Amino acid sequence: MTAPFRIRPAQPADGAALVRLVNGLAGFEKLAGPDAAAARRLVDDAFGPAPPFAVLVAEVDGEVRGYALFFYGYSTFRAAPTLWLEDLFVDPDVRGRGIGTALMQAVARTAVAHGCGRFEWSVLDWNEGARQFYRGIGATILGEWLVCRVEGDALARLGAPA
């Protein structure tokens, strides 16, 4: 029998587990995780006086093994808030127990409670397992929308004084 789990808001004591899970997600996505300074900022931002995002965690046998990190935006077309899921990750050895679904349901309940007109996120085109999971919970994958990003030196140039 698999151990039961619970979904709850992250607490300051979960900071190290959050960083570990973010690094797990980065490794899965073949990206560099946060360096030590970024990890400190992440924890400070998560549990500071005015967090720019919210985090739910999945706890299995008293240990944080998954998380969902999200924040709010606004849809001008719907004239309503939107909820953007930045990260969803469950440790590979506890997958298949419904933890990912439970995290998504908890985030969706949050979106509904806040009057959001949409709940959105992105998925890597090569991650067919995640794409199947998202379709299975009722998501539509919008192939016509492409993510745009400006970062690093390009962001500095774009944001430089005129």
Catalytic residues: 134
Contact predicate 82/73, CB 8 Å: yes
Sign of the CA dihedral with 154 first, then 34, 141, and 119 last: negative
- C-alpha 57, offset from chain centre: 10
| CA atoms of 107 and 110, how far apart (whole Å) | 5
Q: ∠ CA 22-75-84 to the nearest 5 degrees?
A: 10
| CA atoms of 52 and 111, how far apart (whole Å) | 16
